[in-house]
Amino acid sequence: MLNKIRKILKNNYKWIILLICVIIFYAILEDIFEYEKLKLDIIIYNIIVLRLRAEPLTKIMGILTNFGGAYMLIGLAIMITIFSKNKKTAFIIDLNLIIITIFNLILKNIIQRPRPEGYRLIAESGYSFPSGHSMISMAFYGLIIYMIWKTMKNKKLRNIVCVLITILVTLIGISRIYLGVHYASDVIGGFVVSIAYLIVYVSITKTILKIDREDNKKKEKELENENKSEKKERD
């Protein structure tokens, strides 16, 4: 029974994560539409804005937030397009950036949450939820993490690179709260939307990238090992 549950979880973990992301997004959205001030926003505001703000850190946060900005992401996408040997990979990265940007604008204009007032360190226009920097950077860098994880043979280097990019994306989100242009719920909402979106996007595009062939080989080996172990137990 436990083995069956484990198999189900292994085979469907992506869709379970997607479901969790949808639930979190819905919970935040419900509070926003009810005009409630989220406790999470108040707690994180007290920690990040009231306690951590200092001139040296403000400069660092200003630099970090630019890694999730339009100029940086478009620039990186152009560099990947120019220097990538695999044009299919470059196309999928570029398409991902376009889709997630449009998706973010659609959500912002549907929800129309005003930005925080009174403690902004930089000027920003437009609506607040979900955070564009957080949502778009999660989708952009998240796809790159996925590709590195699936294709890089050096495991140690792969792990280091993926962890560093993950930290960067997290810091981009934190920078938006620190600079006073987003609530914490805007950032979390942006992250969970992009994670859910990436699961669907990767499921569709990995056939083009031929990454699914490697996944299938791994699954076949796992099934063979499981069958062998079952036979041994029976014997």
Q: What is the pLDDT of residues 112-127, one digit of tens each?
A: 998 888 788 888 888 9
Contact 32, 185 (CB under 8 A): yes
CA distance 162 to 37: 35
Please confirm whether the linkage preceding 114 is cis (ω < 30° from 0). no
pLDDT score of 62 more than 60: yes
Contact 129, 142 (CB under 8 A): no
Confidence of residue 166 (pLDDT cuts 50, 70, 90): very high
CB of 199 closer than 8 Å to CB of 18:
yes
Count structural domains, the chain.
1
Q: Which residue has the higher pLDDT, 133 or 214?
A: 133
**Helices and strands, counts by H and E, the chain:** 9, 0
The mean pLDDT value for 188-204 works out to 94
Domain that holds residue 190: 2-234
> What are the CA-CA distances from residue 217 to residues 9, 15, 212, 223 (Å)?
19, 21, 9, 10
First and final CA of the chain: distance in angstroms? Answer: 20
> What are the tens digits of pLDDT across the range 79-112?
999 988 888 888 999 999 999 999 999 999 999 9
Has residue 187 got a pLDDT over 80? Answer: yes
**pLDDT exceeding 70 applies to what percent of the chain?**
84
Angle at 122 between CA 37 and CA 97, to 5 degrees: 85
pLDDT tier for residue 164 given thresholds of 50, 70 and 90: very high
Cα 200 to chain centroid distance, Å, stands at 13
Q: For residue 234, what pLDDT band results from cuts at 50, 70 and 90? A: low
Q: Given pLDDT bands bounded at 50, 70 and 90, which one contains residue 204?
A: confident
Question: CB pairs under 8 A, 24+ apart, for 141-149?
Answer: 141/165, 141/168, 141/169, 142/169, 142/194, 142/195, 142/198, 143/92, 143/93, 143/96, 143/198, 143/201, 143/202, 144/93, 146/198, 146/202, 147/89, 147/209, 147/211
Contacts of 121 (CB under 8 A, 6+ apart): 58, 62, 178, 179, 180
Helix, strand, coil percent content, the chain, rounded in steps of 5: 80, 0, 20
Output the pLDDT for position 137.
96
pTM for the full predicted model: 0.82
